[in-house]
């Protein structure tokens, strides 16, 4: 019986953890090309999720998905153009931090004015009754979250490895100046990486919304935890964010149950501090191969 409870907690933790992983993956995408992060990533997720809530009433869940993903891309490109490009151009160390936080706050205010401050129910595309699997209850939407998150990361990785444009993204991440000499418009690559990053956040937002709730205040905590995951897993390791996300998701549900929900954020943040102290490049972080 105790084991069943544990298994149940782990299963719930996995779904949340995969969401953290996808958002953290988004942090990696922009960090790779520009060494900058969108600190409004959580608000990007929130905004897209609320746009999804409005769209879903006209189209249903599955047709809403591509629309919200497209919206996420546009939103990310706007963030890069308004908040990041100038900082990169002037080689500002911190301009982009303030600018992306400011844009995040603006998006949050915008959302509060359009959709209000309350948490809202997001219609689930799948039955909301859990499926029993060997005594463990799993929501169908949780399965979609795990598969969807993996599919999204796999799609981006495949694009980077196989297509000429994806390789141009990797080249820009490796050496921006040299990529420019190849004829690659690296500013455009950075805008694109922001678009892709916000698109993954949008995807995470509409995946998690049917399980939790949505609302103008959903972004902050998710963005921050995913940031912790990106640090724990390493900002350069695709594998790391999955493992980091799962570690955080599972420790959260375990702590929430066995200790107190009041402490559920503590283990993840303690882990974050430990990683920063002992392995600052992240558990799976690697330093780039460089040979002269």
Partner 1 sequence: MLQVENLVAGYGKVKVLHAISLHVPEGSLVTLIGSNGAGKTTTLRALSGMIRPDAGTIRIAGVDITGLPSHEITRHGLAHSPEGRRVFPVLSVEDNLLMGAFTRLTGSRPRGDVAGDLARMFELFPRLAERRAQQAGTLSGGEQQMLAMARALMLSPKVLLLDEPSMGLAPKLVEEVFATIARLKALRVTMLLVEQFAAAALEVADFAYVLENGRLAASGPAETLKHDPAVRAAYLGAAH
Return residues touching partner 1 (CB under 8 A): 164-165, 167-168, 170-171, 173-175, 177-186, 288-292
Instruction: Indicate the residue among 167 and 264 with the shorter CB distance to partner 1.
Output: 167
State in angstroms the smallest separation of the CB of 167 from partner 1.
Answer: 5
For the chain, the residue count is 292
Q: How far apart are CA 237 and CA 230, in angstroms?
A: 9
The full DSSP string for 192-249 is: HHHHHHHHHHHHHHHHHTTTS-B-TTSHHHHHHHHHHHHHHH-TT-HHHHHHHHHHHH
Quote the CA–CA distance of 40 and 135 in Å, as a whole number: 40
Name residue 132's beta-bridge partners: 137
- Among residues 1 and 181, whose Cβ is nearest to partner 1? 181
Q: Smaller CB distance to partner 1: residue 153 or 202?
A: 153
- Tell the smallest beta-carbon distance from residue 192 to partner 1 (Å): 14
Cβ 180 to partner 1 shortest distance, Å: 4
Smaller CB separation from partner 1, 32 or 50:
32
Closest separation in Å from C-beta 31 to partner 1: 15
- Quote the CA–CA distance of 166 and 147 in Å, as a whole number: 23
SS3 137: strand
Nearer to partner 1 among residue 29 and residue 56 (C-beta): 29
Q: Which is nearer to partner 1, 114 or 178 (CB)?
A: 178
**Minimum CB distance to partner 1 smaller for 62 or for 291:** 291
Distance, CA of 196 to CA of 159 (rounded, Å): 12
Instruction: Give the residue from 271, 267, 243, 269 showing the smallest Cα distance to 256.
Output: 267
H or E segment to which residue 133 belongs:
strand 131-133
Q: Whole-number minimum distance, CB 43 to partner 1, in Å? A: 31
Closest separation between CB of residue 168 and partner 1, Å? 6
Strands 131-133 and 136-138: antiparallel
The H-or-E segment that residue 78 falls in is: helix 61-79
Please state, in angstroms and rounded to a whole number, the distance separating the CA atoms of residues 9 and 246: 12
- Rounded to whole angstroms, the Cα distance separating 106 from 93 reads 22
**Shortest distance in whole angstroms from residue 182 CB to partner 1:** 5
- Minimum CB distance to partner 1, residue 291 (Å): 6
- Contact criterion met (CB below 8 Å) for 47 and 173: no
> 261 forms bridges with which residues in the sheet?
none
Residue among 134 and 288 whose Cβ is closer to partner 1? 288
């Amino acid at each position: 019986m105790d084991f069943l409870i544990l298994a149940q907690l782990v299963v719930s933790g996995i779904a949340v953890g995969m969401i953290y992983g996808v958002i953290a993956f988004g942090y990696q995408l922009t960090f790779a090309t520009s060494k900058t992060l969108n600190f409004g990533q959580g608000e990007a997720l929130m905004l897209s999720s609320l746009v999804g809530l409005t769209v879903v009433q006209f189209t249903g869940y599955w047709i809403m998905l591509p629309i919200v993903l497209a919206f996420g891309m546009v939103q990310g490109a706007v963030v890069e153009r308004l908040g990041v490009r100038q900082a990169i151009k002037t080689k500002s160390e911190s301009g982009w931090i303030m600018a992306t936080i400011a844009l995040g706050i603006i998006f949050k205010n915008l959302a509060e004015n359009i959709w209000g401050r309350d948490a809202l129910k997001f219609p689930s595309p799948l039955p909301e009754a859990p499926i029993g699997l060997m005594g463990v209850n799993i929501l169908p939407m949780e399965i979609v979250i795990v598969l969807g998150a993996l599919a999204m990361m796999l799609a981006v990785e495949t694009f980077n490895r196989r297509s000429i444009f994806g390789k141009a993204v990797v080249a820009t991440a490796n050496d921006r100046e040299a990529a420019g000499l190849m004829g690659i418009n690296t500013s455009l690559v950075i805008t694109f990486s922001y678009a892709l990053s916000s698109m993954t956040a949008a995807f995470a937002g509409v995946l998690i919304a049917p399980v939790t709730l949505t609302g103008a205040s959903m972004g902050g905590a998710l963005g921050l935890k995913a940031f912790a995951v990106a640090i724990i897993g390493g900002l350069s390791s695709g594998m790391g964010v999955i493992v980091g996300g799962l570690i955080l998701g599972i420790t959260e549900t375990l702590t929430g149950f066995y200790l107190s929900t009041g402490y559920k954020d503590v283990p993840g943040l303690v882990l974050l501090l430990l990683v920063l102290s002992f392995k600052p490049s992240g558990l799976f972080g690697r330093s780039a191969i460089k040979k002269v």
